[in-house]
Amino acid sequence: MHCVVTGGNVKVLAKAIHSLSRIGDELYVEPQEDGLALRSVNSSRSAYACFLFAPLFFSRYSVPNRNNFRCKMAIKSVQAVFRSLASLEKTVEKCHIELDEQKNRLTFTLHCKHGLLKTHNLSFQDSESLQAVFDKDSCSNVFRAQPRLLVDTVMHFPPSLEEVTVSVSDERMWVRNHVEEEAEQSKAMLTELCLASDEFDHFAIQAHSSVTFCLKELRGLLVFAESTGLPVSIYFDEPGSPVVLSVTDSVLEGNFVLATLTDDPGLRKNSSRRGHTQPPPPPDDFMNDDMDSYLIAMDTSIVPGPSTAGPPTPPLAGSTCSKRPVATNHRTRIHSEEEEEGEEEGDSEKAEDSDRPPNKKFRSLFFGSVLPPSSQMNTQPVVSQEVLASDSEDDSQDE
């Protein structure tokens, strides 16, 4: 394979690789007849992303006839090729990408200003084809929005937040942070954003549903969408089936497929609490915001106050706010103390460990080891349509 990217497209390519790095640690490269496919998948296989750059994206694009080569490499090493993202447009005039199958080498050559020539020879491993099974066109809910709208939406959520829940009705979309357990809810800050349908370029609803997925990957795609100015389409069905985020223009297509949480009871409870399926208009119900019950409960309780370091009593299981305000308050007190102690640790953990597999409740996307239809290549085991155990398979082929 030999292809050449010039001008502003170098940055588009770099941004695509950058947003793929939010998904997984490896970049899967597959030169196809219909373009260069770059893919990534996360370790728990609950998120998958693919960019396909059409031959017209390149000023030169040639793939060998024996069109079945594919490989993978550490995405970090490819990111390193385009390290100075900000200045890329100004410094790089032309980028050659060459694949040398004999030497197991993918070479990026950047022709830069001032006659500087940067050559990066990256080693790679052979890989299976990576495909997520999804069909966005059959999704019942379809939206399209300018990247700005989504950027402004996710901005309301803290960077540490892992998952958001998106709910839709005929006229509105609600985005809120997903809180794991009921216990955590008592201390977690809840944020909900309500968007009207006419803020979207396209808003087609067939099912009033609600899905929860990881925010990190959405942010990853937005990095790309915002820099290229491409609108983002969102496709989803019901909880448990993947949400597809996609960007397209005439020479490229990007699809991010994210698993959603399977229907969990907590979600339903949330729904009824927030009343998201048919929420009442925000009322000016000042006098309805009645806190008396809490106060009465507390002044008669034996609950230690915030300044009294009393021995913590085990929380009463199963109590809810409305029925047992005393217990509820007690429970929140315990949590607040724990939180104070554990918070710093928790934060740093989140920052460092952002690549840990997402929650187990996410169903792994079903990937098939799809071989090209007219395959003459026999190095890949012919075990298609199975959940991949790619890593073990590949080890034998490593150098």
Partner 1 sequence: MPLSTQSQGDDEQYVLVACSDNARNLSNILKAISFKDHAIFTATPNGLRVTVEDSKCLQANAFIQADIFQEFTIREDSVTFQINLTVLLDCLNIFGGSALPGISTVLRMCYKGYGYPLTLFLEEGGVVTVCKINTQEPEEPVDFEFCSTNVTNKVILQSEGLKEAFSELDLTSEVLQITMSPSQPYFRLSTFGNSGNAHYDYSKDSDMMELFQCTKTQTNRYKMSLLKPSTKALALSCKVSVRTDNRGFLSLQYLVRNDDGQICFVEYYCCPDEDVEEE
Partner 2 sequence: MKFRGKIVDVACLNHFSRVVTTISKLTKMCVLRLTPDNLFFVLSGKVGNGGVSMWCELSQANFFDEYQMEGVSSEDNEICLEVTPENISRALKTVQNAKAVKVKLTKKHCPCLTVIAELPTLSSINRVVTHDVPVDVIPQRLWHEFKEPDMPDFDVSIYLPPLKTMKNVVDRMKNLSNFLVIEANLNGEMNLKIETDLVSVTTHFKDLGNPPWGDDASQDAGPSQSRDPDTMAEARVDIRRLQQFLMGQQVTPSRAMCNIVHQRVLHLILLHEDVSLQYFIPAVA
| CB proximity list for 50: less than 8 A, separation 6 or greater | 37, 38, 39, 40, 130, 132, 254, 255
Could you give the C-alpha distances from 171 to 167, 270, 272, 281, 389, in angstroms and in order? Answer: 11, 20, 18, 13, 43
**Contact pick of 62, 84, 191, 348 for partner 1 (by CB under 8 A):** 84
Pick the closer one to partner 2 by CB: 172 or 361. Answer: 172
Q: Does 9 bind partner 1 (CB under 8 A)?
A: no
Any idea what the Cα angle at residue 175 is, between residues 169 and 178, rounded to 5°?
A: 120
Whole-number Å distance between alpha carbons of 56 and 63: 13
Whole-number Å distance between alpha carbons of 43 and 145: 29
Q: Which two tokens stand for residue 231?
A: 């609108």
Q: Which two tokens stand for residue 311?
A: 């021995």
Q: Does 189 bind partner 2 (CB under 8 A)?
A: yes
**Contact pick of 23, 122, 225, 327 for partner 1 (by CB under 8 A):** 122
Centre a 10 Å sphere on the Cβ of residue 228 and count the other Cβ atoms it contains.
17
Q: Does 351 bind partner 2 (CB under 8 A)?
A: no
Instruction: Lay out the site mask for partner 1 across 42-81 (x = CB under 8 A, - = otherwise).
Output: -------------------------------xx-xx--x-
Q: In angstroms, give the least distance from the CB of 317 to partner 2.
A: 16
**Contact pick of 43, 123, 140, 329 for partner 1 (by CB under 8 A):** 123
Q: Does 345 bind partner 2 (CB under 8 A)?
A: no
Q: Does 83 bind partner 1 (CB under 8 A)?
A: yes
**Contact pick of 56, 116, 133, 383 for partner 1 (by CB under 8 A):** 116
Cβ pair 258, 213 in contact under 8 A = yes
Phi-psi region of 195 (alpha: psi -120 to 50; beta: other; left: phi over 0): beta
Q: In angstroms, give the least distance from the CB of 334 to partner 1.
A: 43
Phi, psi of 380 (to 5 degrees): -90, 135
Q: Stretches 6-14, 39-47, 218-226, 302-310: which one binds partner 2 (CB under 8 A)? A: 302-310
Q: Does 1 bind partner 1 (CB under 8 A)?
A: no
Interface contacts to partner 2, rule CB under 8 A:
152, 155-156, 158, 185-196, 198-199, 273, 282, 286-287, 289-295, 298-299, 301, 303, 305-308, 321, 328-329, 332-333, 336, 340, 343
Interface contacts to partner 1, rule CB under 8 A:
73-74, 76-77, 80, 83-84, 87, 91, 105, 112, 114-123
